Structure 1
Amino acid sequence: MQNVVIGFLGVKLDVGKNRRWKPTLSLVEHDEFHVDRLELLYDFKFNRLAHAVKREIEAASPDTEVVLNRLDLSDPWDFEEVYAKLFDFARGYGFDEDRERYHIHLTTGTHVAQICWFLLAESRHVPALLLQTGPPLHEDEPAKLDIIDLDLRRYNALQHRFDLIAQEYSDLLKGGIETRNAAYNGLISQIEHVAGATRAPILLLGETGTGKTQLAERIYTLKLDRRMIKGRMVHVNCATLSGPDGIAMLFGQRRGYTGQAGSERNGLLREADGGVLFLDEIDELGLREQAVILHAIETGRYYPLGADYEVTSQFQVIAGANRDLRKLAADGLFRQDLLSRLTAWTFEIPPLRQRREDIEPNLIFELARAERELGVQYGFNLDARERYLKFCRDPATLWPGNFRDFGASVRRMCILAARGRITRAMVEEEIRRLRGLWSAAQSDPDLKLLADLLGPQVDDIDLFDRAQLAEVIRTCRHSASLSEAGRNLFAQSRNRRKSTNDADRLRKYLAKFGIDWDQVNGA
């Protein structure tokens, strides 16, 4: 593994007028520490000195590559400017920890620059060890070079900065919403700490609509920002992984499995290599699929369909579930070994009815999102806002769809608001609509299924069509692909048709109601 050193040009010490020791040059004068590449940061005012030091290092150590990085500073003692420019440098640098070991040279640069290096190393924006050089104590001794690993939490001046960074990550996990529920805020703080400290699987439990998918995406962003991962996040809806098509979707498939050209596929596990695999609705995964995915999670190795050799994929797992996995395991519906692997870090997301103090901040968030997406500034009349918040906070309002219901409710009122003003009459109409949807959904399973998918649009569907559409959606959700669902639905009539493109026939049927395969399966 190569050693890479990053540091500032010493605008006084590297000149070497007052003493012979030059800190940057001394980096390549230690037999026990070879520098493969030196990334030297310099201000253009010292361009001549930077090139002179580069020539000296290349003469002293021909195997060391010297890369000059121009970083102009108006005031090298200005903390905000120095931190911002070093932060931008770090974000744009292509760190490769699999091939290179990074070090920050602390000896050169102002004290402000050294503090900024500390902060960036502690937060892993620069994944490096700290390197300190010094002149020899005696002429017959070599110059000093120490690799240091400070526990920066001992320094009160820096602890405040770390607290601010932690707060930034907590805000990220909360989507920028100023939540007030103490239990939820404590949960987010735990998730922030765990996500930034370990690569172990994370299990998110909670009712539908509590925001598990959004939270998983934010955890991925946090891990990406902290350089814990490099790849993408792959979202897998486990409810669709039934049958051979589901296994091929997950693990990939070789041409030899079917013998047909163009049948090869990498699989979702391969796509998640180096990133995060989000197993959404893992409680819907069959026992057979649970067995094969457990091996892949534990070892990072698996066999694509039709393959004679294993392939590897290193990914971090986030799983989401609506049901209690422990109860499913007790009933024999979920493998105990997979459960044990997933539950090292389990977080249960509370439903909206347990976070009523967060309704107002989320209302502000939903209004702002509607403004961005619809291009209109929205607001409530005073009496309308008070009435809506009173309804939302009422213990009798259970919010069965949680934030999904809440967000859809606010969006409906925004779209219907003339000139962006939401009136008391509009709020009363929305309250009646919500109560009607919830009451009907509780007594009619078909209507509940359609309401969860279509929202208020379900009111526009004839009673005759509701039962048929509900059965089509159930069939789709228990099928691995659009083609399989089509075969199941049109098994009899397809024998009487000249064309047997069941997938296209099903796609057109769903399109009549404004939905598609991805919407039905929650992709």
Structure 2
Amino acid sequence: MMTNQQPNKTAVIGFLGTTLDNGFSETRWQRWRPTVSLGLHDELLVDELHILYSTRDKRLFKIIVDDVAQVSPQTQIIGHHVALSSPWDFAEVYAELYDFVTAFDFQDSTDYLLHLTTGTHVAQICWFLLVEAGFIPADLIQTSPCPRPDQTDPQGRYQVIDLDVSRYDELRERFEAEKQQHWQTLQANLVTQNAAYQQLISDIEKVATHSTAPILLMGATGAGKSQLAGQIYALKKAKASSTAQNKYTLDKFIEVNCATLRGDTAMSVLFGHVKGAFTGAASSREGLLKSADGGLLFLDEIGELGLDEQAMLLTALEEQRFYPLGSDTPISVSFQLMAGTNKDLRQAVADGTFRADLFARLNTWTFFLPSLKDRLEDLPANIDYELARLGSEQQQQYRFTSEARALYETFATSADATWQGNFRDLTASMTRLTTLAESKVIRVDDVQAEIERLTHLWGLSNSLSVTNHVNNEIINSLSNKKSDLAFNNQFIEQASWALLSIYLDEQTLTDIDPFDAVQLAYVIEVCLQHKNQAAAGRYLYANSRDKLKSPNDSDRLRKYLMKFGLRFDELDQESSID
């Protein structure tokens, strides 16, 4: 059966024009005013008009509200107060607008237009940047008065501008290149709440800017060694370019995973070969060490190198020269070295699989990177980072519903989340969630499916029991909140959403207010702790019962639950699932 799909609503967002919208006498109707003109076009039907204004412009805002209501009665006008001490201060304006758009509840069923005509030039630039960065899913609309001699026409003209950001790829690449060249600190590019990791990054930053000795990054697979190596290179390059007579121009960053190198191939890839050096060597090969001359070489998983390759690498480091395979002529090189490994090289030395002299050469600056499990306080920030990164790649804006975010974070920080692949697992998880999310919104069902995928990938025995265990942890945390004086308010809200996701359908979860969510979660918790509805009702209404002539606690509780489509016996059945 065919159904008629309702067309999307149209919403316009913009500043109140303190100059162009100004006017209090009846003569104001004889001239063009940009905000009012939005409601005067028959072909532009505005369902919602969001106006940003300051306290000092309340009177003008009220006039505009009344005037728009006269010309476009169907338009709902929503005012948003903004506090700007200086509308020409870029940092202040951008921060205020960023806070506004990140808190704004953009709906998939609404088409948004951003009104650029009103507001200062600084505000217009900030709007443009926020749209281009994907924070505002909107096209731009520009209004203007009619040209002479019709400039007194209050309707004026308008133009909708669809930003094709692909046209700005060249500019984006240039800005990115300039940003890489002018990196000043590692800490500015790595967000962390972990004190130990902050100190680690601070130490690495000092070493990277003051030493050319080898750096060894140790940590589990997926802990971020390769990413950090790239950031260290960017910092070193910026330092080298600003230092006169630096022998390392660092215009090259050569990276290789040593785990992919085996036998003669390893020798050839690293040190090169001459023609005829071995069967199949039909031509000469330069090798990565030569390619890295004057730059930085990152050998990831260096613990996988064979002993022969280790010996040649040590020679190249100490003598700054080496012999390609089949050659009697040494090659002179000068490069900085970084290495990464997930192995305990000290144990490898003891086992005879890694040379003690090479380890001593590498061990000048050794840093141990913590795993994701050791940095769980950074997980929310890394989720935001992945959403932004994936959104930038796909030119989309992805987001969680609040209850889906709470459920994902609760699972991700629980004992069941092993994160065996560390940040690689998180990156893969976020990639799956954003790829499968309908309308770019990640919902509870998406998260529940992803939890099952992760628990299966990690080889946990029963993904369903893990999901239920997470829900039980939430319920237990809520049950113990009275005795936990340090209980975090944010977790209470997140836990409430996660608990409600067990019992409420998606639409009800979307519509429920945060206040009702916390209250309902508490009521459900009490119901789960009592054998019948009457007992739960007596507990919940213990203080107000005496004020009623005919108290019926069970009936009051029944009516309360019915508001959300719930029944006590259904809650009891749900809670018995293991």
Report 1:483-502 matches (<5 A).
none
Give the length in aligned residue pairs: 275
Distance apart, 1:239 and its partner CA: 1.9
**1:171 corresponds to which residue?**
187
**Matched position secondary structure for 2:221:** coil
Distance apart, 1:177 and its partner CA: 4.1
Q: Deviations over 1:50-89 (max 9, x none)?
A: xxxxxxxxxxxxxxxxxxxxxxxxxxxxxxxxxxxxxxxx
Distance apart, 1:179 and its partner CA: 1.2
Which sections of structure 2, spanning at least 5 residues, go unmatched? 1-180, 241-245, 463-578
**1:46 corresponds to which residue?**
none
**1:278 corresponds to which residue?**
298
Change (3 A) 1:416 1:292: same
Given the alignment of the two structures, is residue 411 of structure 1 paired with residue 427 of structure 2, yes or no? Answer: no
Given the alignment of the two structures, is residue 196 of structure 1 paired with residue 209 of structure 2, yes or no? Answer: yes
Find the structure with the greater CA-based Rg.
2
Distance apart, 1:362 and its partner CA: 0.4
**1:348 corresponds to which residue?**
368
**1:304 corresponds to which residue?**
324
Q: Deviations over 1:201-255 (max 9, x none)?
A: 0000000001100111111111111116323111122123322222111111112
Given the alignment of the two structures, is residue 215 of structure 1 paired with residue 235 of structure 2, yes or no? Answer: no
> Counterpart amino acid of 2:329?
Y
Q: Distance in 2 between matches of 1:394 and 1:258?
A: 54
Distance apart, 1:411 and its partner CA: 1.2
**Matched position secondary structure for 1:169:** coil
Q: Distance in 1 between matches of 2:279 and 2:348?
A: 39
Q: Deviations over 1:105-161 (max 9, x none)?
A: xxxxxxxxxxxxxxxxxxxxxxxxxxxxxxxxxxxxxxxxxxxxxxxxxxxxxxxxx
Q: Distance in 2 between matches of 1:352 and 1:439?
A: 18
Q: Distance in 2 between matches of 1:398 and 1:419?
A: 30
Distance apart, 1:396 and its partner CA: 3.1
**1:433 corresponds to which residue?**
453
Q: Deviations over 1:403-428 (max 9, x none)?
A: 00001111111111111111111111
> Counterpart amino acid of 1:179?
T
Q: Distance in 1 between matches of 2:276 and 2:221?
A: 40
Distance apart, 1:170 and its partner CA: 2.2
**Matched position secondary structure for 1:319:** strand
**Matched position secondary structure for 2:359:** helix
Change (3 A) 1:437 1:261: closer
Change (3 A) 1:275 1:412: same
> Counterpart amino acid of 1:339?
F
Q: Distance in 1 between matches of 2:437 and 2:279?
A: 58
Distance apart, 1:263 and its partner CA: 1.4
> Counterpart amino acid of 1:316?
Q
Larger RCO, structures 1/2 (Cα 8 Å, 6+ apart)? 1
Q: Distance in 1 between matches of 2:387 and 2:222?
A: 18
Work out which of the residue numbers 412, 415, 419 in structure 2 matches 1:399. Answer: 419
Does the 8 A contact of 1:381 with 1:424 survive in 2? yes
Bigger shift: residues 256-265 or 432-441 = 256-265
Does the 8 A contact of 1:177 with 1:361 survive in 2? no
Q: Distance in 2 between matches of 1:406 and 1:236?
A: 23
**1:517 corresponds to which residue?**
none
> Counterpart amino acid of 1:170?
L
Work out which of the residue numbers 194, 201, 213 in structure 2 matches 1:181. Answer: 194
Work out which of the residue numbers 377, 384, 390 in structure 2 matches 1:370. Answer: 390
Distance apart, 1:261 and its partner CA: 8.0
Does the 8 A contact of 1:177 with 1:365 survive in 2? no
Distance apart, 1:395 and its partner CA: 3.0
Does the 8 A contact of 1:249 with 1:268 survive in 2? yes
Q: Distance in 2 between matches of 1:278 and 1:167?
A: 19
> Counterpart amino acid of 1:313?
V
Change (3 A) 1:285 1:167: closer
**1:136 corresponds to which residue?**
none
**1:334 corresponds to which residue?**
354
Change (3 A) 1:330 1:166: farther
Q: Distance in 1 between matches of 2:447 and 2:183?
A: 35
Report 1:111-190 matches (<5 A).
168-171=184-187, 176-190=189-203
Q: Distance in 2 between matches of 1:194 and 1:201?
A: 10
Given the alignment of the two structures, is residue 205 of structure 1 paired with residue 225 of structure 2, yes or no? Answer: no
Distance apart, 1:373 and its partner CA: 1.0
Q: Distance in 1 between matches of 2:186 and 2:191?
A: 10
Does the 8 A contact of 1:177 with 1:362 survive in 2? no
Q: Distance in 1 between matches of 2:280 and 2:403?
A: 66
**Matched position secondary structure for 2:458:** helix
**Matched position secondary structure for 1:254:** coil
**Matched position secondary structure for 1:279:** strand
Structure 1 runs, 4 residues or longer, greater than 6 Å off: none
Bigger shift: residues 306-315 or 261-270 = 261-270
Q: Distance in 2 between matches of 1:291 and 1:369?
A: 41
> Counterpart amino acid of 2:266?
G
**1:252 corresponds to which residue?**
272
Q: Distance in 2 between matches of 1:168 and 1:245?
A: 38
Distance apart, 1:397 and its partner CA: 1.6
Q: Distance in 2 between matches of 1:426 and 1:237?
A: 34
Distance apart, 1:393 and its partner CA: 1.2
CA RMSD between the two structures: 2.2
Q: Distance in 2 between matches of 1:205 and 1:286?
A: 19
Q: Distance in 2 between matches of 1:419 and 1:168?
A: 38
Q: Distance in 1 between matches of 2:191 and 2:280?
A: 54
Does the 8 A contact of 2:303 with 2:343 survive in 1? yes
Q: Distance in 2 between matches of 1:259 and 1:411?
A: 44
Q: Distance in 1 between matches of 2:389 and 2:260?
A: 30
Q: TM-score, with normalisation over the residues of structure 2? A: 0.46
**2:404 corresponds to which residue?**
384
Change (3 A) 1:324 1:441: farther
**2:576 corresponds to which residue?**
none
Distance apart, 1:171 and its partner CA: 3.3
Distance apart, 1:436 and its partner CA: 0.9
Q: Distance in 1 between matches of 2:183 and 2:320?
A: 33
Distance apart, 1:259 and its partner CA: 8.7
**Matched position secondary structure for 1:346:** strand
Does the 8 A contact of 2:183 with 2:238 survive in 1? no
Q: Distance in 2 between matches of 1:370 and 1:187?
A: 27
Distance apart, 1:256 and its partner CA: 4.5
